[in-house]
Amino acid sequence: MNISGIVMACRPEDLAATIAVVDGLAWASVHHTEPAGRLVVTIEAADVDESIERLKQLQGLPRVLMAELAQYCVEAT
């Protein structure tokens, strides 16, 4: 399993909606938010390719200004 730490940003007025969308994804979890519109998210994936695709999905969400990889970890199963 691959686990990635993602830093995201949106407008402050879009924070609640962005949290709801990200938390609605089975493979993503919001761990921290800031009122200024920043989020810390983890995503889980089976491999590197799936991790990249999921990051791209986050980047393409409505109201998301930025989503960038901050940490990447491969857990042995």
* Cα distance between residue 54 and residue 6, in whole Å: 11
The residues with which 8 forms a beta bridge, in sequence order, are: 39, 67
Task: Reply yes or no on whether the pLDDT at 9 is more than 90.
Answer: yes
The average confidence (pLDDT) of the chain is 96
DSSP 17: H
Task: Reply yes or no on whether the pLDDT at 75 is more than 90.
Answer: no
- The CATH number for 12's domain is 3.30.70.920
Question: Whole-model pTM?
Answer: 0.92
Torsion of CA 51, 60, 62, 15, to 10 degrees: 40
Task: Reply yes or no on whether the pLDDT at 63 is more than 80.
Answer: yes
Mean pLDDT, rounded, for 61-77: 92
Q: How many domains does the chain fold into? A: 1
Range of the domain at 31: 2-74
Task: Reply yes or no on whether the pLDDT at 77 is more than 70.
Answer: no
